[in-house]
Amino acid sequence: MKKSRAGMIFGVLALMLVATGCSSLVGGKWAVKVNGDSVLVKDYDARVAEAQKTYEKQGMKFDTDQGKQALPQIKSQLLDRMIEGKLIAQEVKKSSLNPEDAKVKEQEDIIKKNIGDETTFQDTLKQQGMTESELRNFLAVYEKVTGEVKVSDAEIKTFYDQNISNYSQPESVKARHILVKTEEEANAIIVQLKAGADFVQLAKEKSIEPGAKDSGGDLGTFTKGKMVPEFETAAFSQKVGAFSTTPVKTEFGYHVIQVEAHTPAAAPDFEKVKAQVSQDALNQAKDTKFQTYFDELRKNAKIEYSQGYKPAS
C-alpha cells in the first residue's frame, strides 16, 4: 500500500540522482570542479555512454527529433548529478563514514530486491547516471544525517489524516460485460436479458471480447481509473445485480454490463495501520531533513565549470 523503507530512500535518490545519457561534449580535461575536486571529461563521457546504452536498450532513439531536442537538458542533468555525487563523496570523507558498513549494505540489498535482479539494478544505476559506490556513499550520508530523526504520536496522526487515502480501501466494482460491434446487437442482447436469458451464457455466445467464451465476460473487481471513462461511469452508477438497459459505447464497441458487487471506499481503523503509518511518517521526516541538509550543502559548495559545460541559467 505504501512505499517500503528502501522505496522511500530510492525516492529521495531519484530526486537527486535521476539522469539520462547522450553523446559526449568536447572541452578540456575537466568539466567541472566541486570544491576543487574535478569531474573529468573522460569520466563524464563514460557515464554518458553507459546511460545512453541503457536508454537505447529500452527503445529510446537519440537520432530522432525528440531525442535531439532532449540532448541539452539530458547532458546538463547528468553533469549535475555527478556534481552531487562529488559532494556526497566529500561528506563521506569529511565525516569518516564507511560506505561498506553492514547497515549500508543491508539498505543496498533491500533496494536491489525491490528493483528486481542484479542486471536490472545495474541498468537502473546507469540510467540514473550513478555508480554503485555513489549509491553506498549516499546511503552512508543519509544514515548519518537522519539516524536520530524521530516522530511523535501527534505527528504520526497528522500524517495519517493528511494521507488517509493511501491507507483506505478504494471504491470498487465487480462486473461482467458483453461486448459487440453495433448498437443494434447490444439492444438485441438487452431484450434477451429482459426476457430472462442467462448473462454468462450470452457473454460466451455473443461477446467479441477475447476470452469471453471461457470467462463469461467476467472482468473481476476493479477500482476507478482502471477502465475507459464511459465504461467506468456506467459500471459505478449501476445497481448491484442489474444489467445495462441501454448500450454503453466505448472505443471498443458497445457493452452490456452486469454489476455483481459494489464496495464503497472505506478508511481503516487508525490503530490497525498505525505501525505502517508510523514508518511512513518517519520516512518522510527523514527525507525532508536530508533534502534540507543537501540543499544547504549544494548552496555552500564552490562549483567551477570548464568552458562549454556551464548550464544555461
Domain count, the chain: 2
- Is the domain of 118 the same as that of 183? no
Alpha carbon of 156 to those of 4, 7, 228, 275: distances in Å?
17, 19, 37, 10
Q: What angle do CA 89, 91, 94 make, to 5 degrees?
A: 115
CATH number at 20 reads: 1.10.4030
Do residues 10 and 142 both lie within one domain? yes
Q: Is 172 helix (H, G, I), strand (E, B) or coil?
A: strand
Considering the domain architecture, whether residues 231 and 90 belong to the same structural domain is answered as no
Q: Do 89 and 233 have their domain in common? A: no
137 and 12, same structural domain?
Answer: yes
What pLDDT is recorded for position 11? Answer: 54
Query: Cα(31)–Cα(44) distance, rounded to whole angstroms?
Result: 8
pLDDT digits (tens, 9 = 90+) for 247-262: 999 999 999 999 999 9
| Positions of the chain with pLDDT under 50 | 1-8, 15-28
Q: What is the pLDDT of residue 139?
A: 96
Q: Within this chain, do residues 10 and 110 fall inside the same structural domain, yes or no? A: yes
The CATH number for 212's domain is 3.10.50.40
The set of residues, in sequence order, having a beta carbon less than 8 Å from that of 50 and lying 6+ positions away, is 21, 126
Do 52 and 117 lie in a common domain? yes
Inside any domain, residue 31: yes
Q: What is the pLDDT of residue 136?
A: 96
Does any domain span residue 190? yes
45, 26 Cβ separation under 8 angstroms = no
**Structure confidence at residue 206 (pLDDT):** 96
Tell me if 114 is assigned to some domain. yes
Q: Are residues 86 and 220 in the same domain?
A: no
Domain presence at residue 165: no
Q: Is residue 166 part of a domain?
A: no
pLDDT number for residue 13: 55
What's this model's pTM, rounded to 2 decimal places? 0.67
* Per-residue confidence (pLDDT) for residue 96, from 0 to 100: 96
On whether residue 237 sits in a domain, the answer given is yes
The CB density around residue 154, as the number of other CB atoms within 10 Å, is 8
Domain around 61: 5-152+270-305
Does residue 132 lie within any of the structural domains?
yes
- From the list 213, 214, 207, the residue with the least C-alpha distance to 178 is 207
Same domain assignment for residues 292 and 146: yes
131 and 189 inside one domain: no
Same domain for 286 and 146: yes
Residue 313 domain-assigned (yes or no): no
Q: What is the pLDDT of residue 254?
A: 98
Specify whether the CB–CB gap between 217 and 199 falls below 8 A.
Answer: yes
Q: Are both 253 and 300 inside the same structural domain?
A: no
